[in-house]
Amino acid sequence: GLPVCGETCVTGSCYTPGCTCSWPVCTRN
């Protein structure tokens, strides 16, 4: 959906459902 989840994943993990890590930010379809 939105390209950015408003979450960073510098540690390599995303906590927002449906988001994946595209370092250093979380993204989703």
Give residue-wise pLDDT tens across range 1-29: 678 899 999 999 999 999 999 999 999 97
Which helix (H) or strand (E) covers residue 22, if one does? strand 20-22
Q: pTM higher than 0.95, yes or no?
A: no
Where b means 16+ CB within 10 Å and e means fewer, 1-29 reads eeeebeeebeeeebeeeebebeeebbbbe
Q: Domain span at residue 26?
A: 1-29
Q: What pLDDT, on a 0 to 100 scale, did the predictor assign at position 2?
A: 72
Q: What is the CA radius of gyration of the chain?
A: 8
* Tally of domains in the chain: 1
